[in-house]
Amino acid sequence: MNIDILLGLQWGDEGKGKVVDVLTPKYDVVARFQGGPNAGHSLEFNGIKHVLHIIPSGIFHREKINIIGNGVVIDPAIFEEEIKALEKMGLTPTDNLWISKKAHLILPTHRLLDAAQESKKGKNKIGSTLKGIGPTYTDKTARHGLRVGDILSEDFQERYNNLVATHKLMLKMYGFEYEEVLPKMELNYFEALNTIKKFKFIDSEYEIDDFLNNERSVLAEGAQGTLLDLEFGSYPFVTSSNTIAAGAFSGLGLAPRRCGKVVGIVKAYCTRVGAGPFPTELFDATGETLRTQGNEFGATTGRPRRCGWLDLVALKYAIMVNGVTEIALTKADVMSNFETINICTAYKVNGEITTRFINDSNAQIEPVLTPFKGWQQDISNIRNYDELPPEFKMYIQYIEKETNTKISIVSVGPDREATIVR
């Protein structure tokens, strides 16, 4: 048995949470492999919307195992809040949520350092979610981070104190005042450690190997999106982990030859939160319509998302670096009233046309747009591919032809039920 990977092909918020929830019944296990509480994965059923940050989106299916892999960074305080919300719904996540001992811990001082470093950047701010992601991965690679398994060791408090002492020196250097806020954050943090201790700590590499060897299927759930990847996004306007398919192997402890399907989630237009290049961004009323109709406000920070047309150049790049085998297209219902829908098919840079993605965050990119006739019909209640309007089918077929990739799922609304599987 091989592992299937589901990930975002744009700048995050493509609808990964929704699609994972829809696909979970087909799998035995859902596993997150990177990122942390910077993610906000929404899913909806029975008229209620749920937002998950660290916990995999398969958690609402009680009989499925959910794993937080070694590549994830965990803030115990946010984890505790998520657990409480699930328990309120009558779920018992201690039964079906396992956590890698090797996942790194976000400390309260990591969050403060994130804020201090962002404010120091001035106009070059990345627009971080300020959840401590960058500083935690920095400590991981610098080899002085703390991991989930360390919580159980006798010298945990001492190691925590040592790391925090270093962080305080750094905060002082940044001129960041932590004295007032930190004690309260720490109180909350140490309480939350008691919650996380109730969970099963695992070596995800062994557990996943066992599942696959016993013909049990695993879906790896990505966070963020390909264009926010540490290596292949528009550096430095990226996140601090590998969001691409390769990240699933290091983030769970899995051999690359066990790669099964790679499902890429694509929004029918583009959004981006935070700073950085966005070639198809719309600054006009159309952009505003996408934002309001699509409810494009961050699931983690509530920030308005920047909106623009679908970018085929970036999409083809994302399909290439991930080895995407099929696409799930989301949110086309948001464009139901549009007379014309544009797709960016090339970039113009310094007067030259290119179909290659540009990672250089300083490049001045002008999108070359191809117009399509809109379907101008509400598609949110359609559940059968054949009943979709012909103009929308043409839009789908065009993307399939250009990317040479099948669109196997069409999502037409936030609810679990609003899904067409082909």
Active site residues: 13, 41
Pairing mode, if any, of strands 3-8 and 259-267? parallel
- Contact (CB, 8 A) for 399 and 329: yes
Minimum distance of ligand GDP from residue 169's CB (angstroms): 35
The nearer residue to ligand IMO, 134 or 279, going by C-beta atoms, is 134
Nearest to 7 by CA among 403, 412, 321, 411: 321
Judged by CB under 6 A, the number of residues near ligand IMO is 24
What residues between 87 and 146 interact with ligand IMO by CB under 6 A? 126-129, 131, 133-134
Q: Out of 34, 42, 286, 403, point to the residue binding ligand GDP (CB under 6 A).
A: 42
Would you count residue 291 as binding ligand GDP (CB under 6 A)? no
Closest CA to 96 of 72, 69, 61, 70: 61
42 strand-pairing partners: 51
Stretch that binds ligand GDP, among 186-194, 272-280, 326-334, 383-391 (CB under 6 A): 326-334
Q: Please, which residue, 132 or 414, has the CB nearer to ligand GDP?
A: 414
Report in angstroms how near the CB of residue 379 gets to ligand GDP at its nearest.
10
Applying CB under 6 A, which of residues 5, 10, 11, 12 lies at the interface with ligand GDP? 12
Number of residues that bind Mg ion (CB under 5 A): 3
Ramachandran region of residue 352, left (φ > 0), alpha (ψ -120 to 50) or beta? beta
151, 118 contact by CB (below 8 A): no
**Which amino acid is located at 72 in the chain?**
V
Please name the residue that has the structure tokens 């999409």: 315
Distances (CA, A) of 292 to 55, 278, 384: 28, 19, 27
Q: Name the residue nearer to ligand IMO (CB basis): 41 or 382.
A: 41
The residue range among 41-49, 124-132, 253-261, 340-348 that interacts with ligand GDP, by the rule CB under 6 A, is: 41-49
Q: Which is nearer to ligand IMO, 100 or 239 (CB)?
A: 239
10 binds, among Mg ion, ligand GDP, ligand IMO, none (CB under 5 to 8 A by kind): none
Q: In degrees rounded to 5, what are phi and psi of residue 60?
A: -75, -5
3-state secondary structure of 32: strand
Sequential DSSP letters for 153-192: STTHHHHHHHHHHHHHHHHHHTT---TTTHHHHHHHHHHH
Q: What is the number of other CB atoms lying within 10 angstroms of the CB of residue 368?
A: 18
Q: Least distance (Å) from ligand IMO to the CB of residue 243?
A: 8
Tokens standing for residue 243: 């969001």
Does 40 contact ligand IMO by CB under 6 A? Answer: yes
Residue whose CB is less far from ligand IMO, 334 or 388: 334
Contact status: 242 vs ligand IMO (CB under 6 A): no
**Is 56 one of the binding residues for ligand GDP (CB under 6 A)?**
no
Minimal distance in Å, beta carbon 122 to ligand GDP? 28
14 binds ligand GDP (CB under 6 A): yes
Nearer to ligand GDP, 42 or 66 (CB): 42
CB 252 within 8 A of CB 70: yes
Binding residues for ligand IMO (CB under 6 A): 8, 11-13, 35, 38-41, 126-129, 131, 133-134, 223-225, 228, 239, 273-274, 299
